[in-house]
Amino acid sequence: HMAASIPRHRQLVIAQTELLKLLAQQASSKDREVRVALCHLVINLTWQEDDAEAQQCAARAAELKRLGFHSKMESLKLQDRDLDVRERAKTAAWQIEQATY
């Protein structure tokens, strides 16, 4: 759970573009736990500790959007068969939207 740690750790995770591309593919995993974990990753990466982190948070959210995570979260929140996944995806999509405005 590096992404749930300090802002510097979130920055280290978001810099791993190739890893994030591979993780984005897991949005269609048959395992609900994998889909929930992916939502938690997005939620953690778009979490803003305080106002001083706003710019970094916005940059992380923009990168996630660029990598297709926002559209994947939108899809999960509307179409996933599991309520927990839908709720986590709703939070993840909302946080991406809030951070990129």
b/e string for 33-50 if b means 16 or more Cβ within 10 A? eebbebbbbbbbbbbbee
The closest of 15, 27, 42, 36 to 83, measured between CA atoms, is 36
Res 101: pLDDT: 66
Place 1 in a pLDDT band, splitting at 50, 70 and 90: confident
Res 36: pLDDT: 98
Determine the Cα–Cα distance for residues 80 and 82; give it in Å rounded to an integer: 5
Is there a contact between 55 and 90 (Cβ–Cβ < 8 Å)?
A: no
Picking from 4-13, 33-42, 75-84, which range would have the lowest pLDDT averaged per residue?
4-13
